Amino acid sequence: MDIKPKDASERGLDWRKKPRRTFTPEQRLAMVLECAQPGVSVAQIAQRNGINANLLFTWRKLHGLGQLVPANKPAALLPVTVATPAPKRKRAYRQRSTSARKPAARVAGTIEIELSGARIYLHGTVSESDLASTLRALARK
């Protein structure tokens, strides 16, 4: 009687030597949308694609939350020019009037940054240092 254990690689069970499979967001979305068809079994789709059904259920849950989206084309970047403000002119000394003055109207801008489904709005006057720190924080993500 042969009591020697069989080599696991002969049976195809040595999963440690295989590289981890990855799926593109488009592939994941295609499998999730296939599951949404009436009369389709999630287990059959998972088996056909060689994945665990639990993973497919996780992708379905992410799709329901809007977090499983295919990678779109990168956002088009628009050219930006930064102009230096004109130097302030010196005003001649005037005596203040007693009537109430209206405050000067400020022109407030808005910067909108959208990355992977998240939007960041910067309203009003944004200092250069605030914008630089925001961009540095986004670059780390």
Give the mean model confidence (pLDDT) for residues 41-47: 93
User: pLDDT-derived band of residue 130, with 50, 70 and 90 as boundaries?
Assistant: confident
pLDDT reported for residue 34: 93
Per-residue pLDDT band at 5 (split at 50, 70, 90): low
Alpha-carbon distance of 141 to 133, in angstroms, equals 13
Q: What is the pTM of this model?
A: 0.41
Residue 75 lies in a domain: no
Question: Are 40 and 60 contacting, i.e. CB atoms less than 8 angstroms apart?
Answer: no
Please report, rounded to a whole number, the percentage of residues in the chain having pLDDT higher than 90: 18
Domain limits for position 123: 110-140
Residue 117 forms part of a structural domain: yes
Residue 70 domain-assigned (yes or no): no
Residues 6+ apart with CB under 8 A from 58: none
In this prediction, residue 96 carries a pLDDT of 60
Domain tally for the chain? 2
Residue 73 covered by a domain: no
Structural domain contains residue 30: yes
92 occurs within a structural domain: no
